[in-house]
Structure 1
Amino acid sequence: MSNTSLTRRGAALAAALMSASLVLTACGSDGDGTGDKTAETRSVKADNGTIEIPVDPQRIVTIGNTNLPFIDLGGEPVGVTEVSASDLDVLPEKQRTAYEAAEIVGSNGGEVDLEKLAGLKPDLILVQFHSNDWDKVGKRLETIAPTLLWGLDTEWKAFADAIAEAGNVADALSRQKAEYEEKVAKIQETYGKIIDGTSFVDVSRGDWNDPGTFYIADIGCSEIARDDVGLDLPEAAEGKDPLAYESLPFEQIGGLSKYDVITYPVDAEGRPAEPFVPVVETNTWKALPAVSSGRALGVFCPGNNSYGPVIRYLDSLDSALATLPAKK
């Protein structure tokens, strides 16, 4: 083979390599030499399967219950579904600003404006809502961008892990976990003697409850106090619906007298939560031994589906337990 032939072939090969390099640069760079991380993908498992999502998603839309957990981790979604005024009212200012900066794409999971959502050009959609809503819009969401679905029965810590992994905000999650574990340990160490042998009951009332009714809470923040902190709180028998699902008439308030300590919901300022006010106004409530002896504790629970609000709950629980007299 002549040197001339080799030279020509070498030049052709160099040209081909340069052309391929230009194609790769166009596909994998944003023009500043750093590369487009959103072009790289990774596999993430969710309830709707194993989905390929961007390594570093930049335009995330949150739908349903994923809104506030993602924002709690420092995320800044470009689109969200509506959140109740009561949930917004208790958000830290920075998180509320992040929520309000996003575009509202629907009132709830099943009422998403798909055209509006698509116009945001998301590179990832995070979803948690009822399975009926997924049946309604799920497949169409998946045609817009990689979509991750979690069912409503996903345990809150696992949900936080999943949101952090998908949204690439794991560093924030690590800090929150460390703070959470520190606060739980502090409460156990500080109030261990008080907690041991003390029977607690957590009672509440929602604006959805019929007039003249309340319920015993065994899910939500109450579940955290029982399972993680170690308070002796009632819970439903295995396989039964939560106690919180049963509305009890005010006539049964007197039955709370068998518990040493009662916890009940208050707002951020320590006032009885508005739906619970009718309970504390009854003479039966006022006559309870725990109430008359200062063992009825108002505790603030801004939410229970991500670490940030749960940490605030633990702070409130800590302050409430501090008012109990030490056991002799």
Structure 2
Amino acid sequence: MSRFTYVCKPGLLIVIFTLLLAACSSAPAEPAGKEAANPKPAEQTAQQPTTKKFKGENGEIEVPAQPKRIVAITFLGDLLALGVKPVGAGSLALENSVLLEKELQGVVNVGDVSMEKVLELTPDLIIVPSYLPAENIENLSKIAPTVSIVSSGFSGGDPLEELKKIGSLIGKEAEADAFIARYKQKAAEAKEKIAKVIGPQETVGSYSIWAKNIWVWPTGRDANYNLLQMFGLKPQDKIKADIVDTGQAKDISLEVLPQYAADHMFITVYEPAGGKERAKELMEGPVWKNIPAVGKKHVYLLNYKEFWMTDGLNLEKQLDILVKTVGAGN
């Protein structure tokens, strides 16, 4: 009996040891569900989509989720407000965004619009205003995804809504919200200063003298967005009825200018093609001199290139100019 016990013990130990080794080597893998629920940072990045669908005025376009090389025919103030510098821009916007000269250094001028220059820049996204001819948009689409967006400066729309749309397009929604909050805060501070010069019952108007035109602007053009929307100033009655309420600019004659004259008049002069000379002639004539705002020195001349673009960063910089121009800086 003792001999049987002595022989069996080593065999039993060997069996137990073998079973333990097998158990260790065949330990079950971590459930796939648990791993999927807790992906590693590198795997998270890999799973993020590289493109998305965006609905522009030219239809639903597949665009980069995070574009790196943008050519923008306009909307430069919006892009800069979002912290994005385009690689190329249209000549009209680039040459008339003088307030953004420092921020736009190095941006290539693609003219109006040179397909060759755009192609050389190898963009991954092209942003165009909806007024660009359809043929141009189609040709640009052969170079890179091209999205058409309504320009508030030409449509009379809200430039802050335009900014939000650009932010949504390029994945900068948070930056758009942050800029708008900053801009509105600065506008509120400017409004307090402006109120020292322009009373709540006094009216304002925004006008532009060209060689053959006298334009009266709606809310989205020149100084009017800041004057009417941000400062809450009162538009002159006829301007409100004929222009602000319709959202359409109006070209008026010199003879009817007194009917549209506000208590405080903000004037730009479009100097090319004889505009400068026309303004000088007009301001030396009897019709102009008999306008009450002229006699009270409530006419404020603004640089047309500083107020041509009314998008994003341009709007913010124009606040300081308006405060200084009306003498409300202190």
Pairwise CA distance, 1:87: 0.5
Alignment of 1:69-80 (within 5 A): 69-71=78-80, 73-80=82-89
For 2:61, the equivalent position in structure 1 comes to 51
Match of 2:207 among 198, 203, 208: 203
For residue 302 of structure 1, what is the amino acid of its counterpart? F
Q: Give the SS at the match of 1:173.
A: helix
Task: Name the TM-score, length of structure 1 as normaliser.
Answer: 0.67
Structure 2 distance, partners of 1:38, 1:276, is 57
Structure 2 distance, partners of 1:119, 1:201, is 44
2:205 and 2:265 in contact (8 A); partners too: yes
Q: Give the SS at the match of 2:67.
A: coil
Pairwise CA distance, 1:181: 0.5
Q: Give the SS at the match of 2:307.
A: coil
1:215 and 1:244 in contact (8 A); partners too: yes
For 1:247, the equivalent position in structure 2 comes to 252
Point out where structure 2 has 5 or more consecutive residues left out of the alignment: 1-41
1:223-248 per-position Cα deviation (integer Å, ceiling 9, x unaligned): 44223321111234489865633231
2:77 and 2:312 in contact (8 A); partners too: no
Pairwise CA distance, 1:314: 2.0
For 2:231, the equivalent position in structure 1 comes to 229
Q: Give the SS at the match of 1:284.
A: helix
Match of 1:312 among 298, 308, 317: 317
Alignment of 1:1-328 (within 5 A): 40-63=50-73, 65-71=74-80, 73-83=82-92, 87-88=96-97, 90-99=98-107, 102=108, 104-108=109-113, 112-113=114-115, 115-130=116-131, 133-134=133-134, 136-152=135-151, 153=155, 155-170=158-173, 172-192=175-195, 194-206=198-210, 209-210=211-212, 213-219=213-219, 220=221, 221-233=223-235, 234-237=239-242, 244-249=249-254, 251-255=255-259, 259-265=262-268, 276-299=279-302, 301-322=306-327
Distance 1:308 1:75, change over 3 A: same
Q: Give the SS at the match of 2:301.
A: strand
2:63 and 2:125 in contact (8 A); partners too: yes
Pairwise CA distance, 1:170: 4.5
1:37 and 1:54 in contact (8 A); partners too: no
Q: Give the SS at the match of 1:145.
A: coil
Structure 2 distance, partners of 1:170, 1:205, is 38
1:59-87 per-position Cα deviation (integer Å, ceiling 9, x unaligned): 22223x23454345442323333236850
1:215 and 1:245 in contact (8 A); partners too: yes
1:202 and 1:216 in contact (8 A); partners too: yes
Greater relative contact order, per chain length (Cα 8 Å cut-off, separation 6+): 2
For residue 82 of structure 1, what is the amino acid of its counterpart? S
Task: Name the TM-score, length of structure 2 as normaliser.
Answer: 0.67
**Larger deviation, residues 118-127 vs 190-199:** 190-199
1:10-31 per-position Cα deviation (integer Å, ceiling 9, x unaligned): xxxxxxxxxxxxxxxxxxx9xx
Distance 1:35 1:79, change over 3 A: farther
Q: Give the SS at the match of 1:44.
A: strand
Pairwise CA distance, 1:123: 1.5
1:202 and 1:222 in contact (8 A); partners too: yes
1:70 and 1:167 in contact (8 A); partners too: no
For residue 218 of structure 1, what is the amino acid of its counterpart? P
1:73 and 1:173 in contact (8 A); partners too: yes
For residue 128 of structure 2, what is the amino acid of its counterpart? V
Paired residues, what number? 272
Q: CA RMSD in A?
A: 3.8
Distance 1:148 1:37, change over 3 A: farther
1:76 and 1:98 in contact (8 A); partners too: no
Point out where structure 1 has 5 or more consecutive residues left out of the alignment: 1-28
Distance 1:316 1:53, change over 3 A: same
Structure 2 distance, partners of 1:188, 1:68, is 22
**Larger deviation, residues 315-324 vs 54-63:** 315-324
1:133-183 per-position Cα deviation (integer Å, ceiling 9, x unaligned): 12x133343333222111343642222112223234455534431232113
Distance 1:245 1:74, change over 3 A: same
Structure 2 distance, partners of 1:34, 1:266, is 55
Structure 1 distance, partners of 2:285, 2:146, is 49
Q: Give the SS at the match of 2:215.
A: strand
Structure 2 distance, partners of 1:106, 1:266, is 24
Distance 1:307 1:84, change over 3 A: closer
Structure showing greater radius of gyration is: 2
Structure 2 distance, partners of 1:149, 1:245, is 26
